[in-house]
Structures are given as structure tokens and as C-alpha cells.
Amino acid sequence: MLYILVVGGDKRYIHVIETLAKLENNLYLIGFDTVSFDKSNVKHAKLEHMDLSIIDAIILPIAGTDERGQVEIMYANGHFYLTEQILSSTPDHCTIYTGTANDYLQGMCKAAQRSLIRLFDRDDVAIYNSIPTAEGALKIAIEETEETIHNANVCVLGFGRVGKTVARLFHAVGANVYVVARNHADLARVTEMGLTPIKPNRLHKLLADMAICINTIPSLAIDDERLTNMSISTVIIDLASKPGGVDFVATQRRGIKAVHALGLPGKTAPKTAGRIIANILMESLKSEQKHQ
């Protein structure tokens, strides 16, 4: 039995809480005031009334904190800031769980000498999560275009864990999929999958014919120069985490539709995405217990 503090999170975390509660862990919730749970081991909490010395783990939202330590709160009013003082008030073995972590969160955990586990650093989590991400991208593509995805020219930038799943799904519904990749092995795999491989230096010659461009690269991949070669009717879907890989100021100036599609798993399939997070959390919590 663990004492776990869950701070903020989106709809996925409601399913995480329900799953962890079934294992009879004691859960304390901050940022879920408008959500009710029928388990007696799930309690709404206020930081000022909590005994942090009993907390074995703190679970943060996927994005962790912003650069000031603020945690995203969706189901309550007010703000919550995670501080080094809060972390230092927990036991030495207390572990902090997040999806991703910026420099601020990493530095704070290091200063407080608390373990930080970034769930989305794991290949299995990222691959499982790529499925609802790809389905969400397909949903956006259908809604934002005036033609069928079938037989449309779709360009996927990047062939990592998300790019592979996105390319496979759009190919499965009949799109003509072009994949931009640098690695020779990736280009070979793209060919093996029946898709069209594109080297980055040849992308500008093809952009005018693309109906949809989907970016998965977490750095500037679609800049103003590349936008000059793009049709005004092209729809851009950026799946990269903040700040993304698209020059959104330039797309607006040129009148090209661009969607920064953040947190798609939590929007399109929160139950599935929550189950993925919960399963990995349970596995990680058990592992941490064994090492204490």
C-alpha cells in the first residue's frame, strides 16, 4: 500500500486514479475538485493540510510543470506551483513521475535529491501512445480538409515512434504517403512499407503537391522558406510538443491552415491513454518499492 499524491492532469488521469485506487493505494488529489470518486482510499486534498512526510510518490501531468513550476490544473480553480520546498518535505525515497520534464523540473528534483521518472522516455509508452495520437491526427485531417484522405498526398515529416504509426495509418486508409527522413535505414524501411521516401533536401520540390503535411519533428521543420513552396490549400498538422516544429506566425501570414495538435491521446482516447499511463505507473511503482 502506497501513499500517492496526484497533482493535476487531464481526462486521462481520471482513469489513472481509478486504476491505482483499485490496488488499494491511498491517493490524495490536488486539482480534481469537480470530479468525484466513490473509493474511500481516494481523497481530495489541500496542500496546506497535507502531511507530505508520508508521500511515497507524486504523479504530475504529462507535461510536468512550466518554466515557473506551475502545474496544469483542469478540474479545479486556482493555480498550483511545485517547489523545491514541497519536494524536500517528502521522504527521501519519494519518486516524482511525469510524462516529460523541462529544465526547471529536472533542476528542482535534483536540488531536492528526489528521483524523477519521465514515463515518455520509455519506448513502450511512446509507441503505445502513438496509436491514439495517429488516430487523432487522422480525425483532424478529415475535419480540416474538403477532400477524402483516400488518394490524398500526405507528407509525414519524421519517422520516429510517432511518425511510423502516423504513416502506417494514413497509408491504411488509402492516402499517398510520403515520409521525410534522414537515416538511410529509415528510408529503406519506408520503401519496404510501400510508402515514398523523401530526403530533406528534396522536400521543397514536392510540397506544392501535398494536401496534408504532418510534422512529428520536435524542432523547426516547416519554416518560412518551405512554406513558400506550399499551396495555400495545404493543411499542416503539427504533432511535436511545444514549441512545435512549424513557424505558425508565417503560416498565419501566408493564410495556410496549421493546427498544433497537442495532447491528442487525452482528447481522442482518454480511457485508452489513461490505461497506458496507469499500467506503466503500476509497473514502475512496484519496481521502486523493491529497491527501497
Number of domains in the chain: 2
Strands (E), the chain: 3-7, 26-30, 42-44, 57-59, 70-71, 80-81, 95-98, 115-118, 153-157, 176-180, 196-198, 212-215, 235-238, 257-260
Residue 232 and residue 287 in one domain: no
Summarize pLDDT for 96-133 with one digit per residue, the tens. 999 989 999 999 999 999 999 999 888 988 899 999 99
Summarize pLDDT for 221-256 with one digit per residue, the tens. 999 999 999 999 999 999 998 889 999 999 999 999
Residue 160 and residue 109 in one domain: no
Summarize pLDDT for 74-83 with one digit per residue, the tens. 999 989 999 9
pLDDT value, residue 289: 65
Distance CA 45, CA 64 (A): 19
Residue 135 and residue 241 in one domain: yes
Pick from 117-126, 269-278, 279-288: least confident = 279-288
pLDDT value, residue 120: 87
Residue 36 and residue 91 in one domain: yes
Residue 201 and residue 249 in one domain: yes
Residue 218 and residue 196 in one domain: yes
Domain of residue 70 covers 3-121+270-291
pLDDT value, residue 290: 64
Residue 143 and residue 102 in one domain: no
Contact of 26 with 51, CB cutoff 8 Å:
no
Buried b (16+ CB within 10 A) or exposed e, 258-285: bbbbebbbbbbbbebbbbbbbebbbebb
Overall average pLDDT of the 171-186 stretch: 97
CATH number at residue 95: 3.40.50.720
pLDDT value, residue 263: 87
Residue 167 and residue 281 in one domain: no
pLDDT value, residue 155: 98
Residue 9 to residues 164, 196, 207, 222, 266: CA-CA distances in angstroms?
Answer: 27, 38, 37, 30, 10
